[in-house]
Amino acid sequence: MNSILVVVLAYLIGSIPSGLWVGKVFYKTDIRQHGSGNLGATNTFRTLGKKAGIAVTLMDILKGTLATILPILAVFQGSGIHPLVAGIIAVVGHMFPIFAGFRGGKAVATSAGILLGYHWPIFILLLIAFLLCLKVYKMVSLASMFAAVVAFIYALIYGILYNEYLLLIIISIIVVFIFYRHRSNISRIKKGTEPKVTWL
């Protein structure tokens, strides 16, 4: 029973459409009708501004973190669900949220939240990699994919050094998710038409 509860709760946590709710409650705006139409933090920044964008980013990160720590909470001990698996379920919820017609975000912030909850040093490394790439190229999508690649390399080295490959498997899944969800961005990057941020 605990295993079922963890799976369901992780999905529901991931399904919380932060961008949609923040937009509707505080700005009377459905961000799906603006910009890229995406529910993620990037479109929130573009549509509603910095404050809303930061709030949604933090909320999306915390979704991944909360889902990841669910299996280690006393009430759910013995569930048999690994924290990383619970985190991945939250990412699926984020991409296909039941509370927003199964049209969600691109998995970046919630995936980062998994790593914050499970192995915080890699979160710090990826945050630095993301910000450096964003500073140089001004494209959130490119910075997100660059951070995903850095995560894969880190997990590969970590796995070889410590004979621990579950992190590598989970991060590999995340990388696939992120690149798949950014396929339209990849096309625009190739064409030179990808929007660039102006606030950094």
The tens digit of pLDDT for each residue in 124-147 reads: 999 999 999 999 999 999 999 999
What is the dihedral sign for C-alpha 113, 179, 38, 186?
positive
Q: Does residue 78 surpass a pLDDT of 90?
A: no
Between 37 and 43, the more confident residue is 43
Which are the contacts of 59, defined by CB distance < 8 A and separation ≥ 6? 16, 18, 22
% pLDDT > 70, the chain: 99
Whole-prediction pTM value? 0.92
**In which band, very low, low, confident or very high, does the pLDDT at 164 lie, cut at 50, 70 and 90?**
confident
- C-alpha dihedral, 62 to 65 to 69 to 73, nearest 10°: -10
The tens digit of pLDDT for each residue in 90-117 reads: 999 999 999 999 988 898 999 999 999 9
Q: Which two tokens stand for residue 144?
A: 């997100």
% pLDDT > 90, the chain: 80
**In which band, very low, low, confident or very high, does the pLDDT at 2 lie, cut at 50, 70 and 90?**
confident
The tens digit of pLDDT for each residue in 10-23 reads: 999 999 999 999 99
Q: Which two tokens stand for residue 35?
A: 């910009």
